[in-house]
Structures are given as structure tokens and as C-alpha cells.
Amino acid sequence: MDKQKINPEEVWRSTKGALQLQMTRANYDEWIKDTQLLSAEDNAFIIGVPNFYVRDWLQDRLHPLLKRTVEGIIGHSVALNYTVYKKNSPEIAMENREIPPLLVTDRGRESKLPQSIDLNPRYTFSRFIVGSGNRMAHAAALAVSERPGYTYNPLFLHGGVGLGKTHLLQAVGHEATKRGYKVLYVSSETFTNDLVNAIRAQSTERFRERYRSVDVLLIDDIQFIAGKETTQEEFFHTFNTLYSANKQICITSDRHPREMDRLQERLVSRFQGGILTDIRPPDYETRLAILRDRSRDVPTNIPDEVLELMAEKVATNIRELEGAFNRLIAHALLVHEPITIQLAAGIWQDITPSSTPIVDPAQIISTVANHFNLLESDLTGPSRSRQIVRARHIAMFLLREETSLSLPQIGRMLGGRDHTTVIHGYDKIKKALIVDSILQHQVMRVQQTLQQNATPIYG
């Protein structure tokens, strides 16, 4: 695709098309439908929006999604700015200052507890494809949603990014709501913010009432409460109150509770007291089934061979898979062409590097160090502390698996170690990976971080 020839208006139209596929209808209509591209110069897009409320919302909430989508379409980075534009008459911008009454209620005033985020209508059990990586998690979630509080309590789902944790958690929410239970879905960050606001506004009673009066509490991404003592304290009591009243608690996390640093031991043990299950990356069949399911939402026909190609190429996680899917559709809309294997292959040629990323060895070392909260110099230095040795072995393992460096080269990168030391470290991890699920997750997460950083935007 020749970038020079792309008309910015077309780009924005395609962006809107791609967003339509990624957002709920209501959200799209509310925030995106009436936007317009006003100018595009020097890689800066100015997006006209109908009122100040939409402008704030785009800036504060949707900016990353918009930016990612535009960049996915044009293939390079752009700045996006939002401005209230006067469509017909100069007064309109001022008139629109008035915020629609319905929306005022969820703007979340300082002292007011924000509403729970609505559930995504697509995150239901019927749109969740079951495969080898998520079978257990799906079965547990389904059981819990049918008899909240009595089957497994708590339900703790963990796994890497983009593998369907939020989807399953919200599916429990949909199902339990349908059965008449009172459900509250929040991320652990919202829980923390609500608590902080409640303390500031001296309304902790209301906070407790809100969180402790539900039948099903769904907490997404609990890992963010790590290190937050007050939040953990409050959450512990919330948990106990609900638990002893046979109310259901479901939690997701990007890692196993044992692996969460700075999490109070009493919470770690609570989290392990019900059912704890992980979600693993999808196999080819699952990826293909997900794509087939998603293609039902799209107005254009996508030949099965294209879906097969995509399922084959994108093996990292489901969010990436959807990203690739949306890019293909957006591209097809942009060039006004039907989707064929040739078109897809053309796009895939550009994207191929993302599925076989060139991993920079230095990045492996820094990512491993980061992941374990260590300095790179810990890994290359002489320390024999157990934690550091373990991380160092993981670095050896990944350097050998992910790069073409020789053993002596790996030894040199890690502070001048002997090649037999490298082999030893590599073997240790390789063997431990077979039985140690925590290690599996650690390694997988480092790999995911590496892949994300190595993935170029296509273009």
C-alpha cells in the first residue's frame, strides 16, 4: 500500500470502521460516530468532536485505542488531537457545553463512587470459544455462574495478557445477572480508587455498603493491589464479609497468587482457598474457531483460507489475533477490495516479522531483570542469592531459545560465565518447566513482553 496516496479522510473513515468492530454499538454511537477529521499535517491529526464531553472522554479514555487503530491503518506513528468543532453555526460548540443529563451521573464526582463499568455485551459464554488452553477455566466459571457462592469460592483465574480472563469474568457477570443475582464488576484499580475517594470524602460506610451488598463480586486484574496496604486491608474485609455470607467472589490476575510480590500472606491463602485455574495460550484450532466466530460480526465475507492463514500466523494471544483481524478488515475497507487470500498475504508479508520477531539479546536480559525486580547488573554480577540465580538461569534459557547466540556468547553477555554454566542453567529451567507451573508462567510472561516489544506496526 502506498502511504503517500492515502487520503486522510479515508484513513479516518477506515478507523471508524475498525473501531466499530472493536466497540459496542452504544459506545461507538456515543463517542465515535460524530467525529470528523479536520486536518492531517505533519503526522498530527486533528479530530473534530461534537462537544466538550466527548472530547474529554476521547482524551482520557479512548485515546490509546484510537491511536493504535489509526497507526495500525497508516503504518506509522501519529499524534491525535481532539477539538470541539462547529459543524454548522459558531454557536454550536458553546451550546454543546451542556452535558447530557444521563451522562452526568457517571462522571464520578470526587466524593461520589463511580458506577461499575458496564459489562461488554460480547463477553458472554456463548461467544467464548472453548479450547485446550481454557477448558478448565471455562468449566469453573460456568459452574460458578450457575450457582454463585456455592460451587467454588473464590474463583481465581490467572494467565497472560489477552487470553480471555476479562471475557470469562464478565461472562460470569452476564450469566449471574440473568439469573437475578446482584453483580458488581470492577477492576482492582477501580476498587482502589473508590476506596481512596471514599476515605477522602469520609464515606467509607457507603463504600462498604456498595461492595458488601452484592451476590457476585467480580474483581479484574487483582495484581494491581500489590503493595497497596490499605486497599489490601479493605479488600480482605470485603472478601471475608462476602465469603461468610456465601456470596461469590471471582478474581482474575496476570499471575498466580504465590507469584504476586507484596501481597499479604492472608490474601494469598484466601485466593487459594477456592478454585484456582489458569488460562493458557490458544492452540491453532481454538484460534481458528475464534476467528470464524468473529467473522460473523463483519459485513464482508472472509474466505476460510484467509482465516486459516491468520490463525497460523498469529500465535501469541487472542488480543493480537483480533488486532490482526481488525487490521485486515480496515485495510479491505480502505482499499475497497474484497478480502482475498492475495490481499491478506500482502498485508501479512508486512506483518510477518511480528510472528517471528527478532529478539534483541540485551532486551532479554533487561526484560528478565525487570520482571523479577532486579537490576541487570544482578544478572551479570556474581551474586549467588537464590532469587538472582533463578532469574539468571531464566535469562540463559531464553537467550538460548530465542536468539541464535552460541553458548559462549551467552556466557559473555551474562558477565563472562563459562559455557558449561550456561548449559547447566538452561537445562535446569528446561527440566523445571515441565513440572513447575509458576515457572511456566514467569517464562511465558517474559516471552510475551518480548514479543510485544518486538512487534512492529505494519507498514
Which residues form the interface with Mg ion (CB under 5 A)? 165-166
For helices 284-294 and 304-313, give the axis angle rounded to 10 degrees. 130
Rank residues 50 and 160 by Cβ distance to Mg ion and give the closer one: 160
- Does 167 bind ligand ADP (CB under 6 A)? Our answer is yes
The smaller minimum CB distance to ligand ADP, of residues 417 and 441, is found at 441
C-alpha cell at 210: 456498595
Whether the Cβ atoms of residue 368 and residue 376 lie closer than 8 Å to each other: no
The side-by-side arrangement of strands in the sheet containing 36-41 is 36-41, 44-49, 79-84
Q: Considering the rule CB under 6 A, would residue 21 count as an interface residue with ligand ADP?
A: no
Tell me if 318 contacts ligand ADP by CB under 6 A: yes
Among Mg ion, ligand ADP, none, residue 163 binds (CB under 5-8 Å by kind): ligand ADP
Q: Which of 148, 154, 162, 411 binds ligand ADP (CB under 6 A)?
A: 162
Separation CA 394–CA 70 (nearest Å) = 37
* Minimum distance from residue 25 beta carbon to Mg ion (Å): 21
- Tell me how far apart the terminal alpha carbons of the chain are, to the nearest angstrom: 8
* 164 binding ligand ADP? (CB under 6 A): yes
Residue number, 176 or 369, with CB nearest to ligand ADP: 176
Task: Give the C-alpha separation, 284 to 71, whole Å.
Answer: 27
CA–CA dist 432, 84 (Å, integer): 57
Phi/psi region, residue 277 (left: phi>0; alpha: psi -120 to 50; beta: rest), is beta
Buried b vs exposed e over 278-304: b needs ≥16 C-beta within 10 Å? bbbbbeeebbbbbbeebbeebeeebee
Binding mask 127-146 for ligand ADP (x = CB under 6 A): xxx----x------------
Q: Of ligand ADP, Mg ion, none, which one does residue 86 interact with (CB within 5 to 8 Å by kind)?
A: none
Going along 239-311, which residue ranges are E strands?
A: 248-253, 275-279
Q: Which residue is nearest to ligand ADP (CB)?
A: 164
Q: Which is nearer to ligand ADP, 287 or 331 (CB)?
A: 287
Q: Which stretch binds ligand ADP (CB under 6 A): 76-84, 87-95, 223-231, 315-323?
A: 315-323
Which entry of Mg ion, ligand ADP, none binds 249, CB below 5 to 8 A by partner kind?
none
- Contact with ligand ADP (CB under 6 A) among 183, 260, 275, 290: 290
Question: Are the CB atoms for 286 and 129 separated by under 8 Å?
Answer: yes
Which residue's CB is nearer to ligand ADP, number 45 or number 123? 123
Residues that bind ligand ADP (CB under 6 A): 123, 127-129, 134, 161-167, 290, 318-319, 322
